Amino acid sequence: MVRRLFIAGNWKMNTSSSRAVELAEQVAGALAYVDNIDLAVFPPFVYLSQVAEVLKGTALAVGAQDCFYEDNGAFTGEISTAMLKDVGCSYVIIGHSERRHVIGEADELINRKVLKAVGDGLKPILCVGELLEQRQADETDEVVSRQVKIGLEGLGKADVLNVTIAYEPVWAIGTGETATPEQAQQAHAMIRQLLGELYGGSVAQSVRIQYGGSVKPDNAAELLACPDIDGALVGGASLKVTDFAGIVAGGR
Ligand code: PEP
C-alpha cells in the first residue's frame, strides 16, 4: 500500500554540480526528522549520480525529470530507464507540462514512457493538467481525463499502483497563481473517479494524486488538507531549502 503523502521537488533545468550537491545535503538535513512521508528530489540528469550519492541513507529518494522508452541504441540525447536505475533513481517524472507544451510531447509518447518506466521498476509521476484557455472553455475534465486515460493505457491494476498522478494546471506552474483548494480538489476527485471506472474503487483509493502549481509554504497546508490531494509536486519552491521544508511541515 502506498503512503498517502508524497512531496516531490522538481529542480527543472536549474542548479550546477556543486549547487545540486549542496542543495541535496541541505534538504536532507532539514528533513532528517521525517519518517511518515515519501520525499524525492528530481535534479537534472547530469547531476543525478552525485545527488543520489549524497542522499544515500537519508529520507530522500532521487528521481529523473524524464526518460525514454527504448533500452539502448541510436536515440541521440535520450536516457533509458536502465541508466536512471543505474545512477540511483527510483522515480521518474513523465509528461510534465513543459515537456508537453514546450517540447511538444503527445499523450501516446508519454504512455510509452509510462509503460517502460513501470515495466522496468521505476515509479512514474504522470503529469496532467489543462491550459488556461481550456479551463476557461470548460474543458478541464475532458482534457485531464484524456491525458490520464491515454497516459495509463495498457497498465494493469497492480502496475497502476506504482504510478503517481500529478494534477498540475498549466496556468499555475511557475506563475505564482495557485489553484484554489476547491479547484484542485474538484480535479483530483474527478481523476479518482476515473481511476475507479478504469481499475475499481480500491485501486483508485490507493493511487496517489499529487497537486502541483505554485505550491508554497503558505498554501501547502490548505491544499494538502483536501481529501483527494495526496501530496505535492513542487517546482520553484524546491530550490529553496526553507520553502521546501516549510511545504513538508505544512502538509504533515
Ligand atoms: C512544476 O514544475 O511541476 C511546478 C509545479 O512548478 P512550480 O511549483 O514552480 O509551479
User: What are the pLDDT digits (tens) for 196-219?
Assistant: 999 999 999 999 999 999 999 999
- Name the DSSP class of 164: E
Residues with catalytic function:
96, 168
**Mutate which of 13, 102, 126, 168 for ligand 1 pocket (most atoms within 8 A of beta carbon):** 168
Q: Report the percentage of the chain scoring pLDDT > 90.
A: 94
| Residue 1 in this model has a pLDDT that exceeds 70 | no
Q: Which of 208, 95, 193, 195 is nearest to 151 (CA)?
A: 95
63 SS3 class: strand
User: What are the pLDDT digits (tens) for 148-184?
Assistant: 999 999 999 999 999 999 999 999 999 989 999 999 9
d(CA 236, ligand 1 centre) in Å = 6
How many other C-beta atoms lie within 10 A of the C-beta of residue 44? 17
pTM of model > 0.85: yes
Tell me what pLDDT residue 155 has: 98
Tell me what pLDDT residue 250 has: 82
Nearest atom, ligand 1, residue 234 CA: 8
The span from the CA of 105 to the CA of 114, in Å, is 13
| Residue 251 in this model has a pLDDT that exceeds 90 | no
d(CA 153, ligand 1 centre) in Å = 25
| CATH of the domain spanning 6-250 | 3.20.20.70
Average pLDDT in the chain: 96
The identity of residue 134, as a single letter, is: Q
Mean pLDDT for the stretch of residues 130-156: 98
Tell me what pLDDT residue 2 has: 59
Tell me what pLDDT residue 35 has: 86
- In SS3 terms, 193-243 reads as HHHHHHHCHHHHHHCEEEEECCCCHHHHHHHHCCCCCCEEEECHHHHCHHH
User: What are the pLDDT digits (tens) for 63-77?
Assistant: 999 999 999 999 999
User: What are the pLDDT digits (tens) for 35-73?
Assistant: 889 999 999 999 999 999 999 999 999 999 999 999 999
Mean pLDDT for the stretch of residues 93-110: 98
d(CA 229, ligand 1 centre) in Å = 16
